[in-house]
Amino acid sequence: MTDTNFDAMKTLYDLFKHLTTIDTGAIVILATFVTFFSGLKSYGSTTANWWVIACVIALILSLISCVFGMAGVTISMGIVGNRQFSQGIKDLSADVTGIFFAISLGVFVIGLLCLVAFVIVNLWV
């Protein structure tokens, strides 16, 4: 692996770490909103509850795909303990890692949209 590829994989690993942190923070913010809106009479609506469930599912799926993506980065970099991986496994892992990044980013955006919809439904209904 060249230095450029190694640095790119380190950057991708850092992106996964940051996305994991943001996912966790969004779940905490969602819990705060649920607590805040639980005292309001509009919280009992079925629509608001479905937005919460969709948001939590999307953010947890994003977290899971980030963890698998970070595992793929470590395998493609060949730094998993004392194990030696063949070049074919490393290349396959690099390809799969890109797919996990796309999935985690896409599901994260869906989760944020659900969070925004939950807040809008409860503020203006």
Domain around 99: 3-124
Task: Name which of 10-14, 40-44, 79-83, 98-102 the model is least confident about.
Answer: 40-44
Long-range residue pairs from 7-15, CB within 8 A, at least 24 positions apart, any chain = 9/73, 9/76, 9/77, 9/94, 10/77, 12/69, 12/73, 12/97, 12/101, 13/70, 13/73, 13/74, 15/101
pLDDT digits (tens, 9 = 90+) for 64-88: 999 999 988 888 777 665 666 667 7
pTM of the model: 0.81
Count of structural domains, the chain = 1
Give the C-alpha separation, 102 to 69, whole Å.
Answer: 10
Taking alpha carbons only, the member of 32, 22, 33 closest to residue 111 is: 22
Per the prediction, the chain carries an average pLDDT of 83
Neighbours of 75 (CB within 10 A): 19
